[in-house]
Amino acid sequence: MNRLEAIVSCTHHLYPTFDIGCDHGYIGLSCLLKSQSHVTFVDASQHVINRLAERQMVSDFKGRCRLRTTRAEHLKCPEKPHNIIFAGVGFLPIKRLLSAWRSSPQFFQHRYILGAQTHAGYLERLLDDVGLDLIHIREIQEGQRTRRIVVAENACAA
């Protein structure tokens, strides 16, 4: 199993997904194929979002795709349970998002998936510190590199 498959396999198939720092969008596109739920592609770069908008698959799944150009830390905590995927987006945006969302009553209903991040160890501690449970950790070998896929959720919601 590669990193992409491992991340997608960690999603809750009934939840809509936020692919945060989506870039090429492969993670979100794979989620569209796996489930019947919506995917919101989020990236700080307008160029990234314009490029995604031109993809045939995004047109094919138009009713289930949202494209948003915004910084992760400016997103509001969704009201319904979501998969929130952070893969390669950087430590600070995630830290800021988690501290902004932490006070929301909906914070603990989401499934947070770290899909190979820099400072993965700090982020895992951060997820733990904000009161989430690390319910699943998987290591994927990509060439010389070991990538950690981490799922954090309120264990009572799992």
Ligand X SMILES: C[S@@+](CC[C@H](N)C(=O)[O-])C[C@H]1O[C@@H](n2cnc3c(N)ncnc32)[C@H](O)[C@@H]1O
Instruction: List residues binding ligand X (CB under 6 A).
Output: 21-23, 27, 42-45, 48, 71-73, 87-90, 93, 115
User: Whole-angstrom Cα distance, residue 25 to residue 112?
Assistant: 18
Q: How far is the CB of 116 from ligand X (least distance, A)?
A: 6
Two tokens, residue 130: 């904000």
Strands 133-142 and 39-43: unpaired
Q: Give whichever of 87 and 120 is closer to ligand X, judged by the CB atom.
A: 87
The closest residue (CB) to ligand X is 21
Q: How far is the CB of 132 from ligand X (least distance, A)?
A: 20
Q: How far is the CB of 155 from ligand X (least distance, A)?
A: 26
Q: Give whichever of 6 and 132 is closer to ligand X, judged by the CB atom.
A: 6
Q: How many CB atoms lie within 10 A of CB 143?
A: 5
Calculate helix-pair angle for 91-101, 120-129, nearest 10 degrees.
10
Q: How far is the CB of 85 from ligand X (least distance, A)?
A: 8
DSSP of 116-155, one letter per residue?
S-TTHHHHHHHHHHTT-EEEEEEEEEETTEEEEEEEEE-G
Q: Give whichever of 102 and 154 is closer to ligand X, judged by the CB atom.
A: 102
Q: Give whichever of 16 and 21 is closer to ligand X, judged by the CB atom.
A: 21
User: Whole-angstrom Cα distance, residue 23 to residue 13?
Assistant: 22
Q: Give whichever of 149 and 152 is closer to ligand X, judged by the CB atom.
A: 149
Q: How far is the CB of 86 from ligand X (least distance, A)?
A: 8
H-helix segments, 19-64: 26-34, 46-53, 56-60
